[in-house]
Structure 1
Amino acid sequence: MEWRDQGILLSTRRHGETSAIIEMFTPTQGRHAGVVRGGTSRKIAPILQPGAQLDVTWRARLEDHMGAFTVEPVRSRAAIAMGGRLALAGLNAVTGLVSFSLPEREVHLPLYRRTEALLDLLGQDDIWPLAYLRWELNLLEELGYGLDLESCAVTGATEGLAYVSPKSGRAVSREGAGEWAERLLPLPDVLRGIGDANDAEIAQSFKTTGYFLTHHLATGLGGRPLPQARARFVEAFSRSL
């Protein structure tokens, strides 16, 4: 068995004395692991940094084997990520959530394209948090937990939307919320793609997307805790406000 693709390196861990196991996210093969022979060497180890764009060839005797990768660097994102706390935290949040969320070897081409585009914005701290928020919404949508924010779940109104139902993921208006308002999640305008998208609204929006990542996505994956990298990114962003 053999295939070749270009993708994003999600993680690396040592395997034996000289090899490494890497996890890739590629357009045609999804999240896919394999061994890199000599992956701890001075020549190859610097290439195997999370977020790197790699050209990879995977080979195995049988399809269900782990198999082995040969890798060629396309571009590194390490220097940009190491250039600022927010960039590094953001990179770790993205790679951590992809690795956590996606079933192994399941293709998610739209999400792959959005992920690559997002990582190419690393270092642009003025626009990256908003782009990352959009990416979290796309991740939820891709995996079947998308939010419906077009109209009120109670009244059907499209105006005055202020909350999100934690159970259904649907928008709720102030009128529709009534006495239940305190039990609902905030719906800042930025979540609906309107308004000025200021940093305070983005930070508030992370509370809402974080709820669905934790209580819907993670619960659907057996209740495993979200990667701490996501919380560290949100904290780093909140401190910058």
Structure 2
Amino acid sequence: MHLNTQAIVCAVLGHGEHGAIARLMTHEAGLLPGYVRGGRSRRLRPVLLPGNMVQAEYRARVPEQLAQLSVELVHSRAPLLAERLPSTAIDWLTTLTAATLPEGQPYPALFNTLEAVLSAVESANSARGWAPSVIRYELLLLAQLGFALDLSHCAGGGDAGDLAYVSPKSSIAVSRAMGAPYAERLLPLPGFLTGGDAAPGWEQIAEGFRLTGYFLARDILTGKLADICETRERLIERLARAG
């Protein structure tokens, strides 16, 4: 196996005295692990930071073998690690990706979106500018793993142009009129997820995180994976303080 491609660093684990096993998100092959010789050295530690874009070269004699991985920095997001909100967002996005995706399966849409969200975190003037993108990434990840929410029509046949809720059972949107009598049992659907409100306020952003959080916890982040929810909760707490 030989692959030379750009990749996003998602997780790094020390291995042996000086090496590291890095899990990178690639466009061609999805999440791929590899052994980086000297990965914990002074030279490579700043390269193998979650969120960084690297040029990665994987080499393995057989597909079942852990590949030898060499990396060169393409774009560093290290300066963001000194800022609490951006660093927490990067931590959550990369942790979620590394923890949930099966290895060796291509998810080009996730790769492209992850890089776009990381770039938004890096360039937006405030967290309000990038927080909705984090929610959209969570929705996409749910969909790519087979747990898509259907936000295109009303589950009860109501007005598809006035969707206001999501059924926690069917994962399908519900219109305002059809859902009003059952509002306490439904999840609010913020307008920016259905095409409106291009610049949502903090209340809608909070609703978006509650929506995706419900389905992530129900369908994906179960068992041992539930432990990573602490990082997500920390991000939401810091976003609330920022708002």
2:182 maps to which residue? 180
Distance 1:11 1:86 in 2: 19
Structure 1 distance, partners of 2:176, 2:224, is 32
* Conserved 8 A contact 1:163-1:173: yes
Structure-2 residue corresponding to 1:214: 217
8 Å CA contact 1:96–1:230 kept in 2: the answer is: no
Residue of structure 2 equivalent to 1:201: 204
Q: For 2:42 and 2:185, locate their aligned partners in 1 and report how far apart those are by CA, in whole Å.
A: 54
The size of the alignment, in residue pairs, is: 238
1:57 to 2:60 alignment: no
Q: What is the distance in 2 between the residues matched to 1:239 and 1:54?
A: 33
1:1-241 pair list within 5 angstroms:
1-82=1-82, 84-123=83-122, 124=124, 125=126, 126-177=128-179, 179-195=181-197, 196-219=199-222, 224-225=225-226, 227=228, 228-241=230-243
In structure 2, relative to structure 1, the CA distance for the partners of 1:23 and 1:108 (3 Å cut) is same
Amino acid aligned to 1:18? H
The amino acid across from 2:98 in the alignment is: S
Q: Point out where structure 1 has 5 or more consecutive residues left out of the alignment.
A: none
Counterpart CA distance in 2 for 1:143 and 1:157 is: 29
- Between stretches 188-197 and 43-52, larger displacement belongs to 188-197
CA apart distance, 1:161 = 2.5
Deviation at 1:99, TM superposition (A): 0.8
Q: What is the SS of the residue equivalent to 1:224? A: helix
Q: Tell me which amino acid in the other structure corresponds to 2:149.
A: L
For residues 69 and 95 of structure 1, the distance between their equivalents in structure 2, rounded to whole angstroms, comes to 19
Any conservation in 2 of the 1:213–1:226 contact (CA below 8 Å)?
no
Name the SS of the counterpart of 1:47 in structure 2.
Answer: coil
Give distance in 1, aligned partners of 2:155 and 2:76: 45
CA distance in 1, matches of 2:52, 2:176: 45
Q: CA deviation at 1:226?
A: 5.6
1:75-120 C-alpha deviation (Å, 9 max, x unpaired) = 11111232x2110111011001101221111100011001111111
Runs of 4+ in 1 over 4 A off after TM superposition: none
- Aligned-residue offset at 1:217: 2.7
SS in 2 for 1:193: coil
Deviation at 1:191, TM superposition (A): 2.3
One-letter amino acid of the structure 1 residue matched with residue 135 of structure 2 = L
TM-score w.r.t. the length of structure 1 is 0.92
SS of aligned partner of 1:122: helix
Instruction: State the one-letter code of the partner of 1:205.
Output: G
Q: Report the Cα distance in structure 1 between the residues aligned to 2:29 and 2:140, rounded to whole angstroms.
A: 19
Q: Secondary structure at the match of 2:220?
A: helix
Aligned CA-pair RMSD? 1.7
Q: TM-score, normalised by structure 2?
A: 0.91
Give the AA of the match of 1:62: V
Q: Is the 8 A contact 1:53 1:73 kept in 2?
A: yes
- Tell me, which stretches of 5 or more residues in structure 2 are unaligned? none
CA shift for structure 1 position 13: 1.3
